[in-house]
Structure 1
Amino acid sequence: MTATQERPTVQAPPRQASRDLAGPPAVAPKNRRIRGWLARHGASLVWILPVLALAGIVQRINMAGSPQRIDDEGTYTAQAWAIGHLGELTHYTYWYDHPPLGWIQIAGYTGLTGAFGRYDQAVMAGREAMLFFALVSVLLVWLLGRRLGLSRPASAVAALVFGVSPLAVQFHRTVYLDNVAVPWLLLAFLLALSRKNQLAGFIGAAFAFGIAVLSKETFLLALPFLAWVMIRNSDKSTRRYTLATSGAVLALVGLSYVVLAAVRGELIPGPGHTSLISGLTFQLGTRADSGSIFDTGSLFFKVVDQWWVLDQVFIVMGVLSAVVALFLKRFRPLAVLVLFAVAVMFRPNSYVPVPYVIMLIPFAALLIAGVADAAVKTYRARRAGKVTTTLSRVGGTAWLVACAVAIAALVPLWTVQLRGFLQTDLDQPMVSAEQWVDDNVPHDSRLLVDDSMWVDLVNDGFDQDNVIWFYKIDTDGAVEAQSPNGWKDSDYIVTTDSIRTSAAGSPDVQNALKNSTIVASFGTGNQLVDVRRINPEGATAAKQSAESEKAAQTAAGTEISENPNLVASDALKKQLAAGQLNSRALVVLGQLLGTGKVTVADLEPLPGEEGSSFRRLVIESAAGEPGSQLTDWLKNVGSTYAPSTIRTTGAGTEVVFPAIEPTGLLG
């Protein structure tokens, strides 16, 4: 090219054209991973997410109302509360009845989520933690089903049955250590079925199983079956090494409990302290047995009857599935586990705790779904001409028929039972009793209570040393030291079904009940909660004092009923003449009648005080102290006779006097 020649002009392409030539922008690696994961697991999510949502909704709705709150819930909730608020394993002497890891996990959940701050009743914070553990378990049931070879629909059925069976709802909602242990047990079996990275999987399984046992010691029953799964699933070339390593991990986790006892100087029995050996001796040897299943009055019968009433269809199908699954190799360890655990209940002199069934629910659900899945696959194979044995054809068809019958029975049963869980408020009597105690009992009083209300009353301002779990009064040395006179050093006992059924084991509680008077009562039947005032001078002296007080009230009431300044119905005058108005109210009403005409409405009891002396007056008008002057007058009657509340309503001035009053006010 010569100097005189012009260079050809190259025109740059437009920017849009440059982008087109460069192709689409690269997808970020993170987005690619997410899309890839969703592509692989999208079908599974379609099945499991609705099950999780349904289980969560069923477990959460009316969680505070049903089932009825029980003392075990209060025990574990209070211990979890003590970890977060007192920095102690328990707020009483820890006596190694259970390993503490279960309520430590509950404390972890409530501490991280602030659950105790969301509820007036502390046990409900514990129930929220149970909801969390239940949902984790639902997911693990699904994953374990898939790992066992179940189809997605069958795995979803297993997870659904585990999540919403009335038997499951009853126990998943209740604050039991077993519910904390279940997800760890399921995780252990899931990891034991690992094919890839088997050493890591087996170590994880051993660790998870150790956590399960330290959450609830009865889960140790599952150890032989977890070992069976690991041995059968292990690679022969590395079996000895992987099993030995995982066994060492399990031993180390278990020994941590022994180390805890040793560090605290409480490994072996000795004077002045509890011990791990003593706790194990009680749990395994000296604890009273549950009696015979054939004795309708035995604990064994009552426990099994409770399970049966909740969901007999699930129980029958679970046991039948376990029997059938003995012939299905992949389910055989789980089947033997369920049948073995059932057999253990019937051993001589056995103790069967109410939550024993919790460990069996997930495995029974998996077996029901697993056997049904196998039957469906057998049916399809037969239709395709691949099944030739008569046993396979008949067995598969028979099980599908059994499933159809079970579903027909299950729908009405579950409908009735779940409606009760979602609508019935069984906790209201206990809530009302707690509120009554907070409003009417002096906060320096000493109370014997059910475990389930301990934290609530402490949060209401009662000193924790003055709120005593009823069974600690004569079993805990620290409490006995604070109560040298036993039951006589307590002022009130709040009785629930738990206290009434357990009182026989405690002489102090029996004496407190015999020498106490009901001052408020809420609910009926098993939900009955009584607030009782303890009479340290004895029942006879208390009765004489009450009769004397009643006579004084009758005399004063008769005099007031005849006062010409009283404007009232004949019904009210009869109530006064019968001595049904309490002493403070009689004194104040008598003084008010001295100022002029007073119109009073008929007496009505306050909630929980039916049968007691009335302590509420509704003054419709008072000629001598009209309007706001009446309120001022009532506020200045003196501390001995002062009302607890005064409020103006459409009916007049409502005056409520304290429930607890000293004797002798009427002379």
Structure 2
Amino acid sequence: MVQHRPVSAAQRLLSLDIVLALLGLAGGLRVLYLAAPGPALPTEAATVAHAYALGNLTTFADAGGAGVSPFGWLQLAAATMVSDAFGRSATALAAVRETVLVAALVAAVLSWILARRLGLTRWAAAAAVLLVAASPLALGLQRLVVVEHLAAAWALGALALITRRRARIRHDIAASACLLAAVLTSPLALFFLPAAGWLLVRRAPVRAALVVVLLNLGLGIAFGPAAGVLRPHLAAATPPTVTDWAALDPAWVVLSVLGLVVAPAVKAVRPLAATGLLLAATLLVPGVPATAVLALLVPVTPLLLAGIAQATARHRVPGGLESKPASALPRAADTTARLASTKDTNHGPRTGARHSRRIVVGAAAVVVAALAVSWSSGYPGLHPSVARGGPLAAARDWLHANASGSRLLVDDAAWAELANSGWPTGMLAPPAACSVACPPAEWAVFGSGETALRTHYPALDGAFAGAGPTAVFGAGDTRVTVWRLGLPPADPAAPPEAPARAHAGAALAASARVSPSPAAAAVLRDGCADPRLISTIAALAAIQPVGIAAFPEVAGEDAAGQPRRRVLLTGGEDGTTAFYTGQRDLFRPASVVRTADGVLVTYPLFAPPGLLPLTR
């Protein structure tokens, strides 16, 4: 039997220092890239909405394609409730991403523990965790709300328990529970069962039967009588693809492929190699989400690479004290005799050892250089951002200011964000509610997937009939559009209003009683000012001289083609304030505010037609 040397306090402290340093690096980088916009995952929004709904005891039906993981959603909901993430975070998505970040850190600690228990040295284990901590591919992947990150933590926890020295029955029971939790979180975690079984048989075949019985009992209940409540289903295959992820860290991808090929020859990591090969083969199956598979594969391949590197170093550079167990160390007498027998040689063994070390050091330098080049191009691809809001948060704030209390037709992402901001969930209708006919709604909020949703739910076309965008936030894949529904259709015979606004605005800008700034004059001449502002400024100019500092934009409305409905007026503030607060009916402003720069007048949306004389 191999005698394990006792671990000194200094060695324990060194291991603790290494783990804490790696956790600090991993956590810091993940916080920095938490709000990175890409690569983005379309199914994230539905998972966030389900987590919020469970945590707040309400119901939510997603638009489909996001998969099913009731146990995963429950874990996310519980974590956000304990940490009050929804109350602290700028957005609902960021709140749930915090939980995923914690899961990534837990997985890093478990990877270290597993590596050490598999026989890897302290520095080999550190290298494996460092790869996951700093790789752009892992950073981009482990910030997404994917339940497979939780499943990976459960699976690594089970393997760490199985490889524990002097394991007792309670550890086997805990390992069974962790494996069951991993599979209930994601069915892809089933691929960790071969590694778990292999390690169990390697440790104690008799004790393996207990784990098998407990796991089969749990799976039988979860996938049998309780299948309607607990059974998970994979999400649909959507971008990002394997190619998209590989572009963030091609060097790591190449190393991982080599590791999966070579690892079966290394005894220490052979069980993990079986799991890695099964997961890699799953990437070739059509319809399986690549992001979910990679979430489970990312913690595995660094352990394989570390095991291969350690085995190679031991083979090429024999004689290292740390690379051999205590029972394999040569006795002093044997060492003396060996040295005496070789002292008259030409130092062949010593020269060969130096040559082997050079080969190992050179190979390590090549790997480090390849990773450095790969990471230098991968990090910019993540586009770090200090902004924790984004277009959806801007749309949320706009709706609270302009449509508070209205019934909204929303997609999955908008449902979670608005519900988290206090909008009554009974006033939010997801696309799933439009399977036959859409409920009556006054506004609609959709992201860039609006076209696909309208194709999937034809009833949405009826709700959008005659509607036009009122505010647009962001661009491209992050675009969020707010629509006003139920407006009367425009008269096709009526002339357009923009020329009338431009004609009246140009006349107002040329008036001797009005002093607009260059920017304000351009807004008037371009026909971009609200007709109510043009009419009331002309009326005020008949009473007193008027200075126009600016027509401030309402965020999102310029992109939707809405006229500017705010103005900052200077000079004669008392008279200006009295004039606008005294307006009635169509010309009554939404607000009149005295500021340090003048009087800010804001009108509500949608000026009635026909306020300005039409021009030909």
Same fold by TM-score, threshold 0.5 exceeded? yes
CA distance in 1, matches of 2:409, 2:505: 33
Which residue does 1:13 correspond to in 2? none
* Contact 1:61–1:422 under 8 Å retained in 2: no
CA distance in 1, matches of 2:465, 2:39: 26
How far apart are 1:221 and its partner, in Å? 2.7
CA distance in 1, matches of 2:400, 2:500: 29
In the alignment, structure 1 residue 428 sits paired with structure 2 residue 385: no
How far apart are 1:468 and its partner, in Å? 3.3
In the alignment, structure 1 residue 307 sits paired with structure 2 residue 257: no
Which residue does 2:603 correspond to in 1? 657
* Contact 2:514–2:541 under 8 Å retained in 1: yes
Residues 559, 631 of structure 1: CA spacing in aligned structure 2 closer, same or farther, 3 A cutoff? Answer: same
String of CA shifts for 1:504-552, please: whole Å, max 9, x gaps. Answer: 4333456667854222223333333333334676xxx458399544465
AA aligned to 2:174 is G
How far apart are 1:356 and its partner, in Å? 2.1
CA distance in 1, matches of 2:355, 2:277: 24
AA aligned to 1:441 is A
* Contact 2:50–2:73 under 8 Å retained in 1: yes
AA aligned to 1:505 is H
CA RMSD, Structure 1 to Structure 2 (Å):
3.8
Which residue does 2:372 correspond to in 1? 411
In the alignment, structure 1 residue 74 sits paired with structure 2 residue 34: no
Partner SS, residue 103 of structure 1: helix
In the alignment, structure 1 residue 336 sits paired with structure 2 residue 298: no
AA aligned to 1:446 is L
In the alignment, structure 1 residue 320 sits paired with structure 2 residue 289: no
Matching residue within 357, 373, 395 for 2:310? 373
* Contact 2:38–2:383 under 8 Å retained in 1: no
Q: Percent identity?
A: 28
Matching residue within 480, 493, 512 for 1:529? 480
String of CA shifts for 1:256-299, please: whole Å, max 9, x gaps. Answer: 5347747xxxx4xxxxxxx989x86xx5xxx97x5xxxxxxxx5
* Contact 1:120–1:456 under 8 Å retained in 2: no
How far apart are 1:67 and its partner, in Å? 4.6
CA distance in 1, matches of 2:592, 2:41: 36
CA distance in 1, matches of 2:434, 2:107: 39
CA distance in 2, matches of 1:401, 1:582: 70
How far apart are 1:210 and its partner, in Å? 0.6
Which residue does 2:568 correspond to in 1? 618
CA distance in 2, matches of 1:414, 1:468: 43
CA distance in 1, matches of 2:471, 2:491: 17
String of CA shifts for 1:94-146, please: whole Å, max 9, x gaps. Answer: 99942311121122222222222112312221111112111111100000000
CA distance in 2, matches of 1:499, 1:233: 54
Residues 457, 325 of structure 1: CA spacing in aligned structure 2 closer, same or farther, 3 A cutoff? Answer: same
Which residue does 1:92 correspond to in 2? 61
Q: Superposition pairs for residues 231-310 of structure 1, below 5 Å?
A: 231-235=201-205, 239=206, 242-258=207-223, 261=226, 267=228, 303-310=241-248
CA distance in 2, matches of 1:169, 1:518: 36
CA distance in 2, matches of 1:631, 1:117: 38
Residues 54, 567 of structure 1: CA spacing in aligned structure 2 closer, same or farther, 3 A cutoff? Answer: closer
AA aligned to 1:628 is D
CA distance in 2, matches of 1:62, 1:345: 26
CA distance in 2, matches of 1:546, 1:157: 71
Which residue does 2:329 correspond to in 1? none
CA distance in 2, matches of 1:513, 1:417: 41
Aligned length: 576
Q: Superposition pairs for residues 514-525 of structure 1, below 5 Å?
A: 515-525=466-476
* Contact 1:70–1:498 under 8 Å retained in 2: no
How far apart are 1:445 and its partner, in Å? 3.5
How far apart are 1:319 and its partner, in Å? 1.3
Residues 106, 572 of structure 1: CA spacing in aligned structure 2 closer, same or farther, 3 A cutoff? Answer: closer
How far apart are 1:178 and its partner, in Å? 1.1
Residues 529, 94 of structure 1: CA spacing in aligned structure 2 closer, same or farther, 3 A cutoff? Answer: closer
CA distance in 2, matches of 1:546, 1:367: 72
Matching residue within 158, 173, 187 for 1:203? 173
Partner SS, residue 330 of structure 1: coil
CA distance in 2, matches of 1:503, 1:397: 63
How far apart are 1:62 and its partner, in Å? 4.9
In the alignment, structure 1 residue 217 sits paired with structure 2 residue 187: yes
* Contact 2:92–2:420 under 8 Å retained in 1: no
Matching residue within 557, 566, 582 for 2:514? 566
How far apart are 1:64 and its partner, in Å? 3.2
How far apart are 1:208 and its partner, in Å? 0.3
* Contact 1:334–1:363 under 8 Å retained in 2: yes
Partner SS, residue 586 of structure 1: helix
Q: TM-score scaled by structure 2? A: 0.82
Residues 570, 303 of structure 1: CA spacing in aligned structure 2 closer, same or farther, 3 A cutoff? Answer: closer
How far apart are 1:562 and its partner, in Å? 6.5
Which residue does 2:102 correspond to in 1? 132
AA aligned to 2:294 is V
Which residue does 2:543 correspond to in 1? 595
CA distance in 1, matches of 2:497, 2:200: 74
Residues 574, 147 of structure 1: CA spacing in aligned structure 2 closer, same or farther, 3 A cutoff? Answer: closer
Which residue does 1:293 correspond to in 2? none
How far apart are 1:179 and its partner, in Å? 1.4
Deviates more, 1:117-126 or 1:567-576: 567-576
Q: Superposition pairs for residues 443-458 of structure 1, below 5 Å?
A: 443-449=405-411, 451-458=412-419
String of CA shifts for 1:184-211, please: whole Å, max 9, x gaps. Answer: 0101112222342354333222210110
CA distance in 1, matches of 2:125, 2:42: 35
Partner SS, residue 269 of structure 2: helix
Partner SS, residue 614 of structure 1: coil
Deviates more, 1:195-204 or 1:548-557: 548-557
CA distance in 1, matches of 2:114, 2:454: 44
* Contact 1:71–1:452 under 8 Å retained in 2: no
Partner SS, residue 481 of structure 2: strand
Q: TM-score scaled by structure 1? A: 0.76
How far apart are 1:401 and its partner, in Å? 4.7
Residues 276, 117 of structure 1: CA spacing in aligned structure 2 closer, same or farther, 3 A cutoff? Answer: closer
Which residue does 2:402 correspond to in 1? 440
How far apart are 1:431 and its partner, in Å? 2.6
CA distance in 2, matches of 1:94, 1:606: 31
* Contact 1:142–1:155 under 8 Å retained in 2: yes
Which residue does 1:647 correspond to in 2? 593
AA aligned to 2:482 is V
AA aligned to 2:300 is F
Matching residue within 156, 166, 186 for 2:156? 186
Residues 662, 77 of structure 1: CA spacing in aligned structure 2 closer, same or farther, 3 A cutoff? Answer: farther
CA distance in 1, matches of 2:356, 2:410: 58
CA distance in 2, matches of 1:464, 1:545: 41
Which residue does 1:32 correspond to in 2? none
CA distance in 2, matches of 1:590, 1:150: 81
CA distance in 1, matches of 2:39, 2:603: 32
How far apart are 1:160 and its partner, in Å? 1.5
Q: Superposition pairs for residues 168-183 of structure 1, below 5 Å?
A: 168-183=138-153
Partner SS, residue 209 of structure 1: helix
Partner SS, residue 544 of structure 1: coil
Which residue does 1:41 correspond to in 2? 12
AA aligned to 2:170 is A
How far apart are 1:619 and its partner, in Å? 1.3
Partner SS, residue 553 of structure 2: coil
How far apart are 1:51 and its partner, in Å? 0.7
Which residue does 2:30 correspond to in 1? 59
How far apart are 1:360 and its partner, in Å? 0.1
Residues 568, 125 of structure 1: CA spacing in aligned structure 2 closer, same or farther, 3 A cutoff? Answer: closer
How far apart are 1:416 and its partner, in Å? 4.8
Residues 204, 556 of structure 1: CA spacing in aligned structure 2 closer, same or farther, 3 A cutoff? Answer: same
In the alignment, structure 1 residue 491 sits paired with structure 2 residue 491: no
Residues 459, 596 of structure 1: CA spacing in aligned structure 2 closer, same or farther, 3 A cutoff? Answer: same
* Contact 1:438–1:457 under 8 Å retained in 2: no
Unmatched 5+ stretches in structure 2: 1-6, 322-337, 340-347
CA distance in 2, matches of 1:546, 1:614: 22
Higher relative contact order (CA 8 A, sep 6+): 2
CA distance in 2, matches of 1:168, 1:350: 22
Which residue does 1:584 correspond to in 2? 532
Deviates more, 1:499-508 or 1:136-145: 499-508
CA distance in 1, matches of 2:501, 2:253: 59
